[in-house]
């Protein structure tokens, strides 16, 4: 099983236990385990095969370690089977509606007898739900919106999850003798936040060995079809994967065609027609004469275009850039020098302050900010002013021990429902880096929420706004916020906006990143790591930034320390405790 599949098992166990009203500490243990596993870069299958001690992972005790081993070796867990048998399958669907959750799902099931999504929709439309204690009209409206989100989300998975399948499939098929080229195309290759299916392209003289090997992939639940050059399967997760075996002279054309997007390909066909050419998945032709198709580069060249990075192929601005010679040199992971949003076990993180610093240094980062939650976020054990000051004293001591990495005294300060910040100005003035985030009052009006964020950007201590729209992909829509006004305020005050790299957030989205770029607002790509493994999600944020057309110069934390410090100094308008006065 992939890490994502194991994490999904633990999340489902937590959902059912919470639905049944089990001990919250037990529920939290499974939630934490799911988070740990989901953030891991190294495959648990690999660790189990090596006989690694899984109890060394954050939040993984002996019992959970045994469960992971069982899942890796058998693909199932008896405990989950038993729990599923205790709750109607249709009821489980209720728990995944954004704005609902296990507790409210239990109330709907017990008090209204709701067992499926259609019954839930009807109950909301008839206003029976709002009459339940703890619900109300706004909750009812949120559930109706959540039903629409869930319908879309059920058909797609996060890019990060799709990536685990894609990498496994590539490694699995690469072992077939005679495979010359191998690539995963589609929305996955374009780096979209969510992926509906996978398209795998292979160059091989004989398709049968490739297809035989494909059918043996451990996650295949069903072979849907098998022809001479195409094979489709459905994985146990429900994801469909299509395999196409193509000739080497068509590989580039097929890669362009199956990477898409549909709108991008429409423009390519139009350009081909203007030049008396025809383009399809087999190549570029003048009449019946084959012109090009071996590589993507030669396909684009026949249309008088440079090669266009897959992340830009959405028919938005890439053709104008290409025709005018302005295609950006897109941001790369190696350009990132710092990480400016992370948590320790002082609040809801899993690692100590020192462990996070050590892990960041091992990854080659040159500067980081420790940004534990402030006091308002009680669910995360947010810190009071005096506790923050004590942590910053610890950072002073760590700076003496860690050379080659700058450690900023930071905080993720909460933007209060009534406006303002939940830590006093005197304390915030002593910080080096302040991320202001909105965690409560997310159902307020657009004008109210936008005003809260704009006011936070005007605060002299605030450096950046964290996860600016508050969305969780497939779980929660963004709150009502005028992002244009937020970006304009950031530009006015010389502040930054975060692109949160957590694959469940990826907030800002690609279009908002592009809008910030147009307004000259620098983006900060941060991991929001809650463990040392969480630092590995930076690559998802970089991929999102690439879709927004961002170059290294558009991202704050690509700067070397000397340049970064100057920009931070300007944004803060005050002293930094890291050196300059």
- pLDDT given for residue 76 in this prediction: 84
Does pLDDT of 255 surpass 70? yes
Percent of the chain clearing pLDDT 70 (strictly above): 97
Per residue in 259-282, pLDDT (tens digit) is 999 999 999 999 999 999 999 999
Does pLDDT of 153 surpass 70? no
Is the CB of residue 490 less than 8 Å from the CB of residue 571? no
**How would you label 61-92 residue by residue, b for 16+ Cβ within 10 Å and e otherwise?**
eeebbebbeebbeeeebeebeebeeebeeebb
Per residue in 460-515, pLDDT (tens digit) is 999 999 999 999 887 788 899 999 999 999 999 999 999 999 999 999 999 999 99
- pLDDT given for residue 4 in this prediction: 81
Any long-range contacts for 269-275 (C-beta under 8 Å, 24+ apart)?
Answer: 271/303, 271/304, 271/305, 272/302, 272/303, 275/302, 275/303, 275/304
- pLDDT given for residue 580 in this prediction: 37
DSSP 337: -
pTM confidence score: 0.80
Overall average pLDDT of the 413-427 stretch: 95
- pLDDT given for residue 10 in this prediction: 93
**How would you label 129-157 residue by residue, b for 16+ Cβ within 10 Å and e otherwise?**
bbebeebeeebbebbbebbebbeebeebb
Overall average pLDDT of the 101-117 stretch: 85
- pLDDT given for residue 146 in this prediction: 79
Does pLDDT of 316 surpass 80? yes
- Across the chain, which distance is largest between two alpha carbons, in Å? 77
CA 140 – CA 122 distance, rounded (Å): 11
Which alpha helices (DSSP H) does 60-158 contain, by range?
62-74, 78-86, 89-94, 101-112, 117-125, 137-153
Pairing verdict, β 433-437 and 464-465: parallel
Does pLDDT of 115 surpass 90? no
Residues in the chain: 581
Report which of residues 365 and 34 the model is more confident about. Answer: 365
Measured in degrees and rounded to the nearest 5, phi and psi for residue 486 equal -65, -45
Strand ranges (E), 307-465: 338-339, 367-370, 406-414, 433-437, 464-465
Q: Set out the domains of the chain in order of their start, with CATH numbers.
A: 3-153 (1.10.150.110), 158-323 (3.30.460.10), 333-572 (3.20.20.140)
Percent of the chain clearing pLDDT 90 (strictly above): 72
Overall average pLDDT of the 304-333 stretch: 96
Measured in degrees and rounded to the nearest 5, phi and psi for residue 37 equal -65, -45
Residue 261: is the preceding peptide bond cis (ω within 30°)? yes
Per residue in 170-207, pLDDT (tens digit) is 999 999 999 999 999 999 999 999 999 999 999 999 99
Overall average pLDDT of the 90-104 stretch: 75
pLDDT band at 579 (very low <50, low <70, confident <90, very high): very low
- pLDDT given for residue 142 in this prediction: 83
* DSSP secondary structure, 402-437, as one string: --S-EEEEEEEEEB-TTSSBSS-HHHHTT-SEEEEE
Is the CB of residue 95 less than 8 Å from the CB of residue 105? yes
Does pLDDT of 423 surpass 50? yes
Q: How many CB atoms neighbour CB 126 within 10 A?
A: 10
- pLDDT given for residue 581 in this prediction: 31
DSSP 384: P
Overall average pLDDT of the 316-335 stretch: 96
For residue 91 the two structure tokens come to 């009821």
Overall average pLDDT of the 110-125 stretch: 87
Q: How many CB atoms neighbour CB 298 within 10 A?
A: 16
- Tokens 């494909």, located at residue: 214
Is the CB of residue 454 less than 8 Å from the CB of residue 486? yes
Overall average pLDDT of the 555-580 stretch: 82
Average model confidence (pLDDT) for the chain? 92
- pLDDT given for residue 486 in this prediction: 97
Strand ranges (E), 278-387: 278-280, 283-286, 289-292, 338-339, 367-370
CA 268 – CA 257 distance, rounded (Å): 10
Overall average pLDDT of the 542-554 stretch: 98
Which residues lie across from 465 on neighbouring strands? 436, 497
Per residue in 11-66, pLDDT (tens digit) is 889 989 988 888 888 998 998 899 888 877 778 988 998 899 999 888 899 999 99
Does pLDDT of 92 surpass 90? no
CA 516 – CA 548 distance, rounded (Å): 9
């Amino acid at each position: 099983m992939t890490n994502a599949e194991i994490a999904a098992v633990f999340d489902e166990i937590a959902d059912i236990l919470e639905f049944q009203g089990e001990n919250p500490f037990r529920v939290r243990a499974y939630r934490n385990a799911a988070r740990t596993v989901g953030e891991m870069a190294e495959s648990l299958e690999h660790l189990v095969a090596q006989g690694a001690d899984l109890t060394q992972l954050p939040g993984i005790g002996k019992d959970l370690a045994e469960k992971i081993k069982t899942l890796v070796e058998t693909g199932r867990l008896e405990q989950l089977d038993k729990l599923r048998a205790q709750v109607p399958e249709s009821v489980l669907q209720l728990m995944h509606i954004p704005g609902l959750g296990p507790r409210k799902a239990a109330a709907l099931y017990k008090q209204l007898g709701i067992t499926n999504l259609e019954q839930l929709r009807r109950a909301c439309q008839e206003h029976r739900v709002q009459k339940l204690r703890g619900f109300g009209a706004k909750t009812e409206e949120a559930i109706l919106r959540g039903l629409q989100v869930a319908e879309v989300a059920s058909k797609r998975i996060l890019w990060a999850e799709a990536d685990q399948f894609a990498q496994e499939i590539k490694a699995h098929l690469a072992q077939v003798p005679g495979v010359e080229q191998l690539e995963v195309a589609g929305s996955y290759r374009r780096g979209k936040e969510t992926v509906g299916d996978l398209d795998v392209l292979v160059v091989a003289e004989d398709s049968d060995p490739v297809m035989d090997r494909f059918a043996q992939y451990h996650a295949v639940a069903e072979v849907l079809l098998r022809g001479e050059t195409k094979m489709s399967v459905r994985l146990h997760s429900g994801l469909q994967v299509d395999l196409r075996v193509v000739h080497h002279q068509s590989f580039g054309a097929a890669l362009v065609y199956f990477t898409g997007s549909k709108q991008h390909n429409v423009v390519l066909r139009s350009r081909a027609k203007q030049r008396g050419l025809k383009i399809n998945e087999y190549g570029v032709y003048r009449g019946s004469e084959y012109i090009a198709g071996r590589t993507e580069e030669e396909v684009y060249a026949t249309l008088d275009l440079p090669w266009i990075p897959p992340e830009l192929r959405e028919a938005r601005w890439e053709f104008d850039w290409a025709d005018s010679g302005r295609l950006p040199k897109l941001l790369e992971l190696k350009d990132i020098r710092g990480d400016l949003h992370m948590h320790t076990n002082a609040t809801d993180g899993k690692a100590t302050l020192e462990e996070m610093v050590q892990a960041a240094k091992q990854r080659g980062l040159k500067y980081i900010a420790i940004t534990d939650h402030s006091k308002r976020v009680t669910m995360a054990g947010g810190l009071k002013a005096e506790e923050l000051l004590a942590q910053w004293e610890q950072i002073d001591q760590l700076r003496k021990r860690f050379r080659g990495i700058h450690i900023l005294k930071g905080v993720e300060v909460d933007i209060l429902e009534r406006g303002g910040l939940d830590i006093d100005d005197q304390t915030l003035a002593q910080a080096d880096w302040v991320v202001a985030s909105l965690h409560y009052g997310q159902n307020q009006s657009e004008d109210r929420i936008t005003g809260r964020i704009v006011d936070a950007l005007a605060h002299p201590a605030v450096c950046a706004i964290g996860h600016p729209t508050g969305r969780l992909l497939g779980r929660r829509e963004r709150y009502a916020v005028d992002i244009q006004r937020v970006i304009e305020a950031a530009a006015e005050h010389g502040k930054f906006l975060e692109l949160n790299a957590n694959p469940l957030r990826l907030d800002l989205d690609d279009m908002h990143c592009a809008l910030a770029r147009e307004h000259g607002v620098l983006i900060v790509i941060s991991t929001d790591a809650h463990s040392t493994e969480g630092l590995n999600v930076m690559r998802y944020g970089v991929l999102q930034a690439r879709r927004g057309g961002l170059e290294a110069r558009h991202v704050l934390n690509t700067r070397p320390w000397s340049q970064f410090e100057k920009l931070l100094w300007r944004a803060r308008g005050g002293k930094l405790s890291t050196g300059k006065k």
